Structure 1
């Protein structure tokens, strides 16, 4: 239970207004949509706040507030000035983001830290030109660890996924779900527990962090694990451009040079890796939970699906005006270099 206590304690710190907040010249509001004990609130926001405070000598801090808006509305919430910072999952807004699907593709080799660093670098080199986050300042980009299938029914092969009512998060995960014959159900991550508990869905596509973060060990006792994952998920940590512009120039410079971009992206990726580790550990320790690793035959079969999805996504990026093949090769090269 120690890991759960530590996460809860960290979340409590993130939710409270500490001494640093009272002493700071600028106390910013963070809108977050996951539960207080989820890794986003227990590790990522506290980590980012610490980086911000350190870079600005305590002049800028922030506090987390929950329940300000549903997940798909977070970016607009910040653009409207109702909060200063937030995290978004790009797949929740189909059609609004295309370039972000690049990092969600299956087949990349490496953990979330490597993927998040590569993501930021390819964003600067290729994806920023799409201006898909116009109106806000991108503080960092990250991807969660390999997405797997968590079910309340036994799943032992790819064939078992055909017809499975599955909560799909959007983006590449939903593209893959369609190819595999899953019946897609879209609900935000905070709703997956009740969706599975009520049998409105048979399964959910998520990384291992959901085993603890969304209590999947209770309502989805089976994990069908594809080595390397079925997909990854794309996130952005955003700040109101108006808020950033209102800060003194020296503080803007400190944040840009010491926090935003690659430093924040690396830290966020490290946090995803940690909560994935915790989630898989919890699954192994739960007597009623089982993990089924895809057979070599199914891994080869899934590789064919992955190739098809990759071609489709790269075609989307090319149509949007991005040199998709160059961007794709850059992600692989950057991840391999980590």
Structure 2
């Protein structure tokens, strides 16, 4: 368990003279492990927002300390279970077979913002998906999803048919299903490795959320973005916490976190940050010489909807096999997003 108490911090001596005032004033410091680049919105905005909400909810008794590079992205859940850090963010698609129900939010065809998607996702998780107990061993703090991912490449893609045969970095989960349906040759590398993968020409393109154009500097190596309405998929993420860490906190702090931060409040806040990142990345793309956004034709959008329908049927059947009411969960997400 990595949580630090005020007493432990004081015993550390002069080394803590460089620590922030908030950390010194707090009774408890939660150690956050993150795998994204320092400037990515995950680290630049999401964790600071989480920290702000935690400090406000607990009257400053709990704060955080962000650490980068403790482990690769796919290893974060095991790292939290082992107690090497207290809190982390996981991308469910990096661990094929470990998560199935989380694929519901990844499906193409949802209409709505990332904030609406993240709120709907949390509600569906709390009502249906958590019954599958796929996050056993950790405490789920938030469930959230980025906006629709798009195909980005150095060479322009002007029609959907060009995707067939392209070597494309695709994450796991629904993204892999969609890529296979479109005839892409999938290459799986973690997001932090995407820039070098494209720069070295090991891949022709990448399917990622729009905000990655800024967060992972894709305007430099994937200058063209082919835009399908709603995107090819939405990525599924969770904020998770070590169970022993949470249990070790005083009851009043646990209650404050559960009521004011964990669940829907932080899921909504993170979703809004994903949405802001997409808007900023579109603006950056349009402002960067040599970059272009190519909108899919109505004919290509209709063709992709047929692909999406097939993928949806497949995923709903997979989720249903876990014992969860997959159709009800899907219908809930769709309705909640349409209402927000």
TM interval, short-chain normalised: over 0.9
1:320 aligns with 2:322: yes
Greater gyration radius: 2
* Per-residue deviation, 1:252: 0.3
Residue of structure 1 in register with 2:94 after alignment:
92
Give the equivalent residue in structure 1 for 2:123: 121
Instruction: Supply the distance in 1 between the matched residues of 2:144 and 2:327 (Cα, whole angstroms).
Output: 21
Q: Counterparts of 1:120-269 in structure 2 under 5 Å? A: 120-269=122-271
Q: What's the counterpart of residue 80 of structure 1?
A: 82
Where do 1:290-309 residues align within 5 Å?
Answer: 290-309=292-311
Give the corresponding residue for 1:5: none
Equivalent residue for 1:105? 107
For the residues of structure 1 that align with 2:202 and 2:155, how far apart are their CA atoms?
13
Cα distance in 2, alignment partners of residues 196 and 237 from structure 1 = 28
Of residues 57, 61, 64 in structure 1, which corresponds to 2:63? 61
3-state SS of the aligned residue for 2:38?
A: coil
Q: Deviations over 1:230-266 (max 9, x none)?
A: 1100000011011000000000000000000000000
**Structure 1 stretches of at least 4 aligned residues deviating more than 2 Å after TM superposition:** none
- 1:123-158: CA deviations, max 9, x gaps? 011000000111111111100011000101221111
2:28 maps to 26
CA distance in 2, matches of 1:59, 1:17: 16
Please give the TM-score of this superposition, normalised by the length of structure 2: 0.94
Asked whether the 8 Å contact 1:17–1:63 carries over to 2, the reply is no
Q: RMSD of aligned C-alpha atoms?
A: 0.8
1:18-68 deviation digits (Å, cap 9, x = unpaired): 211111000111000001100000000000000000000000110110000
Q: Specify the SS of the correspondent of 2:220.
A: helix
- Aligned residues between the structures: 323
Which position in structure 2 is the counterpart of 1:333? 335
C-alpha separation in 1, matches of 2:191 and 2:62 = 30
Q: Structure 2: where are the runs of 5+ without partners?
A: 1-17
Identify unmatched segments of 5+ residues in structure 1. 1-15
SS in 2 for 1:270: helix
* Secondary structure class of the residue paired with 2:294: strand
SS of 1:218 mapped into structure 2: coil
Q: Residue 216 of structure 1 aligns to a residue in which SS? A: coil
What are the superposed Cα offsets for residues 280-299 of structure 1, whole Å, 9 maximum, x if unpaired?
11001112001110000000
State how far apart, in whole Å, the 1-side matches of 2:179 and 2:19 are: 42
